[in-house]
Structure 1
Amino acid sequence: MYYIVGFTVGAYLCLFLVSRLLKKHRGPIVGMASVAFLIVCELCFVNRTEWHKIRGAQMLVAMKVISVAFDTDFGALQCLPSPAEFTGYVLCVGTCVFGPWVPYRDYISIFNKPLWVSTAACDLYPHVTYSFLELCQTSLRIMQITDRSGTTIMHLWWIAYRDALSFRSSHYFICFLSEASAIMSGFGHHEDEPWSLSVARPQFIEIPRSLVQVVVYWNVPMHNWLKNYVFRTTKPLGSFAAILSTYAVSSLLHGLNFQLVAVLLSLGAYTYVEYVLRQKLATVFGACIQVRPCRRDCSHRNKEKRLTVVLGNMGLGLVAMFHLSYLGVMFDMSSKLQEEGYNYAHTLAKWSVLGYASHWIALGTYIFYLLV
């Protein structure tokens, strides 16, 4: 608790001083200071096991602090929030533990004609509970199916899929829990619409159209944060540089963990290769096979419902599922290393068992893109 509160106080002092002295570049300066604080704490002051327990909450503090700094630079906030407003936003009871990240304007809006409807909770919790049970049941069933000895290639990939599914299920659990806590705090109200706040969408992850779609729907609020405050600010450097910068910042926020860095940077390269390849194929064949679904009035000759286009999207979706199983194989929820984070030896050992197949396929995909 002391580290989280201390981070909040120190971040506001930094933001206040930068606003008074420079009155610009608050976002980059506060962002670098926040990341530096996280790195120094992890390396020097906090036990790795203890830090691993509060890393998520610290990341949420950093995201909120950096968003306020950039919004002040962009003019979305006319003035710096007061200490009470800033502290209330960063340490908001509904989002400070499980998340999700919410913009400062959304936090302020819950105090404008405060509204709490009991039916919102009644409608939310049965759905969330049902989702928890389904995810746990699916995970347990997969573990039972693959809990057999063997060293065949098919068995190894079944194990990889099982471990990845178990990790994704725990992620969905936290996402649904964060939705519930945020809605109970007043977030997610829309005029003339039901209460809703989407954090993750498992249906677009388990049966993906593309890896880009997985990245977007894995954590929608964090995707929006990275897009607004990292990708768009680095886009003048080029698309590839902006993508790598986005995944690099995401890696630093998640902590000094070789496993996460390796997965996120690999995912960044994969999504770039996938995007440029499908963009080129869509142009060559005039087909709706881009990473995102096309609009109804798109210029492609071959639309989404055409059989060849459906089969093409299904095939590319299976490739995305293959990459997901490979990238998630080292997230073994039963491993003792989970308590303090995974090291490079654990990551490379897991990937070496599968022959680094996903990386080789990604390289082959990029070579194919150059030859098209």
Structure 2
Amino acid sequence: MLTFLLKQACPTDNNIPTIPAYSVSFLFFHEQFHGKAAIAIPRGNLIGIEKSSSRKFPDFDFHIMGLDMEAMAASIGVSVPVLRFLLCFVATIPVSFLWRLVPGRLPKHLYSALSGALLSYLSFGFSSNLHFLVPMFLGYAAMLLYRPKCGIITFFLGFGYLIGCHVYYMSGDAWKEGGIDATGALMVLTLKVISCAMNYNDGLLKEEGLREAQKKYRLIKLPSLIEYFGYCLCCGSHFAGPVYEMKDYIEWTEGKGIWAQSGRGPPPSPFGAAFRAVAQAAICMAVYLYLVPHYPLSRFTDPIYQEWGFWKRLSYQYMSGFTARWKYYFIWSISEASIIISGLGFSGWTDSSPPKPRWDRAKNVDILRVELVKSSVELPLVWNIQVSTWLRHYVYERLVKKGTKPGFFQLLATQTVSAVWHGLYPGYIIFFVQSALMIAGSRVIYRWQQAVPQNMAVVKKAVGFMNFIYSVLVLNYSCVGFMVLSLHETLASYGSVYYIGTILPIVLILLGYIVPAKPSRPKDRKEQ
């Protein structure tokens, strides 16, 4: 099955371009990610990091466990790094299942750490994995030596090292050419290390001055080294995320909290939810394989694209963004299945009668809510969910002074951090600045909608529909920069539709000051 998908995903038609990865958020991935795992579509027969002009992470012998990786990769038309990563990434599902069979707290921590380290070695090689140890040791040293400031120290050291790797290896070029390296996994790992240090820092603070998330995840005592390594590398979950908290990891491993035996009995079986995630991954891959030959990114630089009319160019931008998202849906579905089958994906019970188990700890995307988004404000809640949650808890909320409300500065700063996390390519920076403008513009439309009296239902729905059209248009316009990466190609694609996705949010933001939404009358407000 995997061989068939790889053959279909990687044709050798020179007219089909590569598609850059996103995820932690990692990503096929990004959010970054999540990481940035990718099945890229090569321009030639076999393109990998070996043919990239960018520097590559040190590699290792392609003969792994008796397998001739070069021959296998050549037979299905992908690069060796991509094949190696995919095999290890899919292997996280059975590896996570086997965690359930390991007895005892300490053996479970050891299994988490060693299985993750082994998968990393098989995927990226020994030398590349030394990069993972740097932020891990920097974070632990900060917690051990200077707890009062360990959070902010780890934040800047972790991001500093990640940025250095982004700049030195220029991974975006390799991803666009069909290669992959360890920076995607490093992105996820960086977020996990920072959150652990910040939560340990919060353990010193008075509880009454903390936000709910800080109270929930604060660490009173320093995790042991084996707990820390198990958390960072757990069963290969650092490949593409999701990002989760140290406190949840420890409670899961020790069978405490929601994983403890309760009146409802033991934690529920994960197999049904894991199967649904795998089935979703298969559907997403099928959709992606069907669409991608019809909407190649190379079309943006094709003379025929410039001959099209405005509406056709705009619709092509929409379809390009729509197509690219399905590869992220695929990889996040696989990572979700891996976390669910281990049991860590369990997040409690619903309030329904009878109560049903919830498996959303590993959920990184809500496909329908992304594609049918009512407002851009909702996007961080339904796309790359766990990285968005991390950004909210560890950047956005911590920039808001006590007693004040967040504003555009906090939004822009958060989007900038997200952009830097992905890499320093102009396309990333432009995309996330665009995202901040997009969300701010959507908020203006939402305020106008809320100001419409309840008895004007048609007008209210019309304004809501306008927010939907605005969000879909600006989102798919903006994400072209995320896909093509270079400044020239980004500006050329934006300019081909007269920068409509940039001008429109700015106009809306200005109109929000000039024509502020009038509050509903008390009677209307009560009815709402």
Q: TM-score, normalised by structure 2?
A: 0.60
1:3: Cα distance to partner?
A: 6.3
Tell me the distance in 2 between the aligned counterparts of 1:123 and 1:16: 37
C-alpha change, 1:130 and 1:194, in structure 2 (3 Å) is farther
Query: What's the CA shift for 1:131?
Result: 4.3
- Give the Cα–Cα distance (whole angstroms) in 2 for the partners of residues 130 and 45 of structure 1: 33
Give the residue type in structure 1 aligned to 2:365. A
Change (3 A) 1:211 1:4: farther
Tell me the distance in 1 between the aligned counterparts of 2:169 and 2:461. 53
Q: 1:125 aligns with which of 273, 278, 295?
A: 278
Partners in 1 of 2:432 and 2:491 — Cα distance? 15
Tell me the distance in 1 between the aligned counterparts of 2:458 and 2:168: 58
Structure 2 CA distance, aligned partners of 1:315 and 1:138?
27
Q: Note the aligned Cα RMSD (angstroms).
A: 2.8
Aligned-partner Cα distance in 1 for 2:295–2:280: 23
Match of 2:221 among 76, 79, 91: 79
Specify the code of the residue in structure 2 equivalent to 1:245.
A
One-letter code aligned to 2:341: M
* In 1: Cα distance, 2:141 partner to 2:358 partner: 39
**CA shift at 1:185, angstroms?**
2.4
Q: Deviation of residue 156 (structure 1)?
A: 0.9
User: Is residue 302–residue 309 contact of structure 1 (8 Å, CA) maintained in 2?
Assistant: no
Task: Summarize deviations over 1:239-279 as a string: whole Å, max 9, x none.
Answer: 22211111111111111111011001111122123224533
2:423 counterpart residue number: 255
- Structure 2 counterpart of 1:44, from 153, 168, 177: 168
Aligned counterpart, 2:332? 175
Give the equivalent residue in structure 2 for 1:321.
472
Matched to 1:162, the amino acid is: M
> What amino acid maps onto 1:129 in structure 2?
A
Aligned to 2:408: 240
Q: 1:57 aligns with which of 185, 192, 195?
A: 185
CA distance in 1, matches of 2:324, 2:506: 26
Gaps of 5+ in 2: 1-123, 204-217, 260-266, 350-354, 516-528
Residues 316 and 45 of structure 1: is their aligned pair in 2 closer, same or farther, counting only changes over 3 Å?
closer
Which of residues 434, 437, 441 is equivalent to 1:266? 434
- Indicate which of 196, 212, 230 corresponds to 1:68: 196
CA–CA separation in structure 1 for the residues paired with 2:370 and 2:502 = 20
Q: 1:165, 1:141 → 2: CA distance?
A: 12
- Quote the Cα distance in structure 1 between the aligned partners of 2:142 and 2:481: 41
SS of equivalent to 1:24: helix
Tell me if the contact between 1:93 and 1:185 (Cα under 8 Å) persists in the aligned partners.
Answer: no
Note the alpha carbon deviations across 1:35-73, whole angstroms, 9 max, x for none: 110122232367652796333211100110011011111
**How far apart are the structure 2 equivalents of 1:315 and 1:32?**
40
Whether 2:378 is the aligned partner of 1:213: answer yes
Whether 2:141 is the aligned partner of 1:17: answer yes
Which one-letter code corresponds to 1:167 in the other structure?
Answer: A
Residue 488 of structure 2 aligns with which residue? 345
CA distance in 2, matches of 1:112, 1:9: 25
Shift of 1:18: 2.6
Q: What amino acid maps onto 2:244 in structure 1? A: V
- The one-letter code matched in structure 1 to 2:452 is F
TM-superposed CA distance for 1:329, in Å, is 2.9
User: Structure 1's 3 and 206: CA in aligned 2 closer, same or farther, altered over 3 A?
Assistant: farther
1:6 Cα offset (Å): 3.0
Report if aligned partners of 2:231, 2:246 keep a CA contact under 8 Å in 1: yes
Q: Aligned partners of 2:337 and 2:148: how far apart in 1? A: 37
TM-score (norm 1): 0.83
| Aligned equivalent of 2:359, options 196, 203, 206 | 196
Instruction: Measure how far apart 1:124 and its partner are.
Output: 3.9
- What is aligned with 1:154? 311
The one-letter code sitting in structure 1 at the alignment partner of 2:489 is H
Q: Is the 1:163–1:331 Cα contact (8 Å) retained in structure 2?
A: no
Equivalent residue, structure 2, for 1:107: 249
Secondary structure of 2:148's partner?
Answer: coil
1:109 deviates by 2.8
CA distance in 1 between counterparts of 2:412 and 2:190 reads 20
1:95 maps to which of 217, 230, 237: 237
Distance 1:212 1:3, change over 3 A: farther
Identity of aligned residues (%): 22
- Superposed CA offset, 1:341-370 (max 9, x none): x22112112111111111111121122212
Residue of structure 1 in register with 2:393 after alignment: 228
Cα distance between partner residues in 2 of 1:251 and 1:58? 15
Rounded to whole Å, the distance in 2 between the matches of 1:3 and 1:243 is 37
Provide closer, same or farther for how the CA distance between residues 188 and 28 of structure 1 changes in structure 2, counting only shifts above 3 A.
same
- Residue 147 of structure 2 aligns to a residue whose secondary structure is coil
Q: Which has the larger radius of gyration?
A: 2
- Aligned residues of 1:98 and 1:177 also touching (Cα < 8 A): no
Residues in 1 aligned to 2:271 and 2:446: alpha-carbon distance in whole angstroms: 46
Work out the CA distance in 2 between the residues paired with 1:194 and 1:316. Answer: 34
2:502 aligned residue (351, 359, 368) = 359
| Other structure's SS at 1:209 match | coil
CA distance in structure 2 between the partners assigned to 1:85 and 1:310 by the alignment: 51
- Change in Cα spacing, 1:195 to 1:240, as seen in structure 2 (3 Å) is closer
Determine the C-alpha separation between the residues in 2 that align with 1:38 and 1:60.
Answer: 10
Counterpart Cα distance in 2 of 1:313 and 1:360: 20
SS in 2 for 1:361: helix
**Distance (whole Å) between structure 2 residues aligned to residue 259 and residue 8 of structure 1:** 26
Read off the aligned partner of 2:135 and give its amino acid letter.
Answer: A
Q: Which amino acid aligns with 1:25?
A: K
Contact 1:209–1:316 (8 Å) recurs in 2: yes
Change (3 A) 1:119 1:31: same
Once the two structures are overlaid, the 10-residue window that deviates more, 27-36 or 6-15, is 6-15
- How far apart are the structure 2 equivalents of 1:79 and 1:136? 48
Q: One-letter code of the match for 1:329?
A: V
Distance 1:365 1:171, change over 3 A: same
